[in-house]
Structure 1
Amino acid sequence: MPPDAAPEFSRPVPLGTVPHAGRRIALSATPGECAALAARFGILGLDSLAAEFQLMPEEEGTVRVQGRIAASLTQACIVTLEPVAQTVDEAVAFRLLPPGREPQDGPDDLDEIECPDGVADLGEAVAEQLALVLDPYPRAPGAELPAEATDGSAGAFAALASLRKN
């Protein structure tokens, strides 16, 4: 998403409104938001997108978010371009950072989302999590790549190899 563009699915939550006991939040995208996200991700359709989160405050103003995202979507098969219906049901966890807090980049650290103004956009966080779990190579049932694309005898590199032999 371009830095100056407004998120298609925006659900702002001020970090300061999360009580010490935590807070449960359920989010659901409208049909218009789903259509805009489908266009953003270059998929054929997004029928539904929802999330349920438990927000728990941590030390130094951070907020840990755990929950699930669920979606029903359609992508184009990479072989036939036929529509491929898919469902997503993923557990997610990330941390929201208050103003001035720098992200940690350790291999075992949770993903961290900076909130420079102290407000987290959970809708945009859900959209980003969905983008991470989309199938990069959706295939329709029975769709196979042509034999020449998989046996290595054709293509640019095979053509170059044949020139080298001559």
Structure 2
Amino acid sequence: MSDTPEYSCVIDLRQIGDAPVVLEPDEAARRRLAGRFGLSAIETMRAQVTLKADGPVVRADGRLTAAIQQACAISGEDFPVKIDEALHLRFVPETQVTAEPDEEIEISADDCDEIPYTGLTFDLGEAVAQSLALAIDPFAEGPLADKARADHNLAGDDASGPFAALAALRNPE
């Protein structure tokens, strides 16, 4: 596995300004990301992010939108999905991350999107790509899901298969 991200947008702390940062991966980067995330395609992807530095801690707030082609979890057929997610990320120096690898810690909602970095730069592109991955429903059902269930006797409440026998034992008639 390569350490090179499929999409990268490195931000230098010394160059953070007031203008929002717009990230739009080109076709090649979208194709690589689609492969990484098990998608048929990422047709469009755009994030607009405002960066606010508080010393070495940087807040990144914005919006991620994407149009993807995803395989239905039931039929396997591709179908279009629109992603529209708020982004709330916090980049913190790695030295501020105090937990040991095996140490059990409690985190708040603010800590969930905390991303450590080293030096004077962080990769906003990789963080946005990971946000897209988290927004994808791995069990999404397309328009042909019900037909596939019916075609393969997976529809309805009348159970069949190995769990039907267990259900019959639980509810004898």
Per the shorter chain, which TM-score range? Answer: 0.7 to 0.9
Q: Which residue of 1 aligns with 2:101?
A: none
How many residues matched?
160
User: What secondary structure, in the 3-state scheme, does the structure 2 residue paired with 1:123 have?
Assistant: helix
Deviates more, 1:135-144 or 1:88-97: 135-144
Q: Which residue of 2 aligns with 1:114?
A: 116
Amino acid in the other structure paired with 1:114:
P
2:12 matched to 1:17? Answer: no
Percent identity between the two aligned chains: 34
- The answer to whether the Cα contact below 8 Å between 2:46 and 2:65 also exists between their aligned partners in 1 is yes
Alignment match of 1:52 (pick from 48, 52, 68): 48
- The answer to whether the Cα contact below 8 Å between 1:149 and 1:155 also exists between their aligned partners in 2 is no
- The answer to whether the Cα contact below 8 Å between 2:75 and 2:144 also exists between their aligned partners in 1 is no
TM (norm. structure 2) is: 0.80
Q: Mark the runs of 5 or more structure 1 residues left unpaired by the alignment.
A: none
TM (norm. structure 1) is: 0.83
CA distance in 1, matches of 2:115, 2:65: 20
Aligned alpha-carbon RMSD (Å) = 2.5
Amino acid in the other structure paired with 2:46:
A
Q: Mark the runs of 5 or more structure 2 residues left unpaired by the alignment.
A: 99-104
CA distance in 1, matches of 2:84, 2:25: 15
- The answer to whether the Cα contact below 8 Å between 1:26 and 1:51 also exists between their aligned partners in 2 is yes
Query: CA shift at 1:24, angstroms?
Result: 1.7
Query: CA shift at 1:61, angstroms?
Result: 1.2
CA distance in 2, matches of 1:42, 1:31: 16
Alignment of 1:4-153 (within 5 A): 4-19=2-17, 22-58=18-54, 60-102=55-97, 106-110=107-111, 111-141=113-143, 143-144=145-146, 145-146=149-150, 147-148=153-154, 151=157, 153=159
CA distance in 2, matches of 1:80, 1:131: 21
